[in-house]
Amino acid sequence: MYTTQMDAARKGIVTKEMEIVAKKEQMNVLDLLELVAKGTVIVPANKNHKNLDPEGIGKGMKTKINVNLGISKDCPNIEAELEKVQVALDMKVEAIMDLSSYGKTEEFRQRVIAMSPAMIGTVPVYDAIGFYDKELSEIKSEEFLDVVEKHAQDGVDFVTIHAGINKETAEVFKRNSRLTNIVSRGGALMYAWMELNNKENPFFEHYDKLLDICEKYDLTLSLGDACRPGSINDSTDASQIKELMILGELTKRAWERNVQVMIEGPGHMAINEIEANMVIEKKLCHGAPFYVLGPLVTDVAPGYDHITSAIGGAIAASHGADFLCYVTPAEHLRLPNLEDMKEGIIASKIAAHAGDIAKNVKGAKEWDYEMSKARQQLDWERMFELAIDPAKARRYREESMPEHSDSCTMCGKMCSMRNMNKVMEGKSVNILRED
C-alpha cells in the first residue's frame, strides 16, 4: 500500500496515474517513477477526484497550463462560471483553479470537480472568510487548516498555500520598501492576519498538520509566492528571494512526508531577469516543479496582458518553468468573460508549446514539422486540424476566399509555396495568365 504518488514511487510501485502520464509523455514509466520519487515531477491526483485524467508536471514533461475561474461578490453567477469550465475543458486545458471567494463556493467547487477530468486547484484562504462568515482577524489558526481539509475532502488535487510569508519574511518585507507592496491576494490576506493578530502564519506554524492533510488525501502543495512582484520595479528583490528560500526549506519538509510539492513564482518581471529567476528557483527549491503567473514582461498593457504574459511565459518555459498560469486580456481590470478566457488559454498554449520546442520536449517539434509539411502541400484541412485554434484559423480563411484554392488572398498566384511546388515539379509559373 502507499499514501501518495511520491510514496508509491519511492516504494517502486507504478500507479495507474503514472502509467497514464508516461503514455502521454511518450516515456518509460520507470523513468517517470524515478522523477516522481525525487520530487522533480509531480502527479497531482487527490484520492477523491474520481474522474481525473492525470497529468505530470515537472522535469522532462510538456509544459502544462492552468485556467483561473470562480465566483466573486460582484459576479456570483455559478452557471456562467460553469459554462467557462466546460469550454476550458473542451479546449483541453490541463488544470483549472477555482478561485471563488464569495457565495456558494462549496456548491461550485463540488460541481467543478464532478465534471472535470482536469486537475483542480484552489486557494483555501480565499474561502475562509465566507466559510466561517467571520472577518479576517477573527478566524482562528486551526480554522484555516479546517478549510484546507474540506477542500481536500471534496477532491481538490492541489492547493495554493502561502506558508512562506512567515514572520521572518515579513520583517524582510518591512525593511525593503516596494512600489506595489504585496500583490498576491492570498499573501496579502495572510500578511494582514499576522499583523492584525500579532501571530505567526498558521500555515507555517502548523505546517506538520498541513502535511497530515496532504498525506491523507494525496493533496499536492502548491507553495504560494506571497511576495511575487506585482511590477517590474519590484522583481528579484529581497522579499521575493527571502520567501523563495523559506519555500525551499518547506519543500524538503514536505518530501520527508512523501507530500508532492510545486513552487509558485513571479509575477511581473523584465525579460532579462526571467532566465536567472528560473535557475534560482530550481536551485533554492531543489528542482521542484515551478508554476509561474506569466511572468508579465511590462506593466503598461492593460487589455493585452495575455500577450505580455505569453511573451514571459514562453521565455520562462524555455528556461525550466513547468506550469503556466494563464493570464487574460481582462487581467488587472475585471473578472474575465468567456471570450477573455478563450484568448488567455490560446496565448498560454502558444507560450507553453514555444517553451517545449526550446526544451526539446518529446513530440514538440514534430507538431510544427507536420504543420510546415501541410503548408508546403497547401493542405488547408490538415493545417486547420493541426492549428492550436482550428476554429479561428478556418474562420479567417473562409472570411476571405481566394480566386485560386491553392493560395490565399494575401499572395494569390504569387504564393511562394504554390510557385515553388510548380517549379520543383518542372512546371511553368503563370502569374498573369491562367495555367
User: Which pLDDT value is given to residue 432?
Assistant: 80
Judge whether 225 is annotated as a binding position. yes
| Cell of residue 236, nine digits | 528579484
Residue 102: its pLDDT value, please?
Answer: 86
Would you say 415 is a known binding-site residue? Answer: yes
Residue 306 annotated as binding? no
Q: Is 68 annotated as a binding residue?
A: yes
Q: How many residues are given for the chain?
A: 435
CA distance 372 to 124: 45
Query: Which positions ≥6 away from 266 have C-beta within 8 Å?
Result: 225, 228, 229, 235, 240, 277, 292, 293, 294, 295
- Residue 419 exposure: Cα atoms within 13 Å on the Cβ side: 11
User: What φ, ψ does residue 377 adopt, rounded to 5°?
Assistant: -90, 0
CB-count exposure of residue 237 (10 Å: 0-12, 13-18, 19+) = middle
Amino acid letter, residue 422: K
Question: For the whole prediction, is pTM greater than 0.85?
Answer: yes
Establish whether 353 is an annotated binding residue.
no
Integer distance in angstroms from the first to the last C-alpha of the chain? Answer: 72
418 is in an annotated binding site: no
Beta pairing class for 57-58 and 41-42: antiparallel
CB 118, CB 149: distance < 8 Å: no
Cell of 217: 488525501
**Any known ligand binding at 217?**
no
- How many Cα atoms occupy the beta-carbon half-sphere of 13 within 13 Å? 12
339 is in an annotated binding site: no
Give the pLDDT confidence score for residue 131 in this predicted structure: 87
Residue 326 in contact with residue 296, Cβ under 8 Å? no
Task: Cell numbers for 298, please give them.
Answer: 511590462
Q: Is 264 annotated as a binding residue?
A: yes
Q: Has 285 been labeled as part of a binding site?
A: no
**CA nearest 18: which of 47, 44, 50?**
44
Kindly report, as residue ranges, where domains of CATH 3.20.20.540 are found in the chain.
Answer: 42-359
186 is in an annotated binding site: yes
The CA distance from 323 to 25, in Å, is: 15
What is the Cα–Cα distance from 201 to 207, expressed in whole angstroms? 10
d(CA 64, CA 322): 7
Does 75 belong to an annotated binding site? no
CA neighbor of 116 nearest in space, from 65, 51, 71, 24: 51
Of the candidates 180, 201, 202, the one whose C-alpha atom is nearest the C-alpha of residue 191 is 201
Please check if 185 is assigned to a binding site: yes
pLDDT at res. 435: 67
Question: Is residue 97 a known part of a binding site?
Answer: yes
pLDDT tens series, the chain, 435 aa: 899 999 999 999 999 999 999 999 999 999 999 999 999 999 999 999 999 999 999 999 999 999 999 998 899 999 999 999 999 999 999 999 999 988 889 999 999 999 999 999 999 999 998 889 899 999 999 999 999 999 999 999 999 999 999 999 999 999 999 999 999 999 999 999 999 999 999 999 999 999 999 999 999 999 999 999 999 999 999 999 999 999 999 999 999 999 999 999 999 999 999 999 999 999 999 999 999 999 999 999 999 999 999 999 999 999 999 999 999 999 999 999 999 999 999 999 999 999 999 999 999 999 999 999 999 999 999 999 999 999 999 999 999 999 888 889 999 889 999 989 989 999 988 888 876
- Tell me what pLDDT residue 385 has: 97
Report the alpha-carbon distance of residue 144 to residue 202 in Å, rounded. 7
- Top-tier CATH class for 42-359: alpha beta
Q: CA neighbours within 13 Å on the CB side: how many for 293?
A: 21
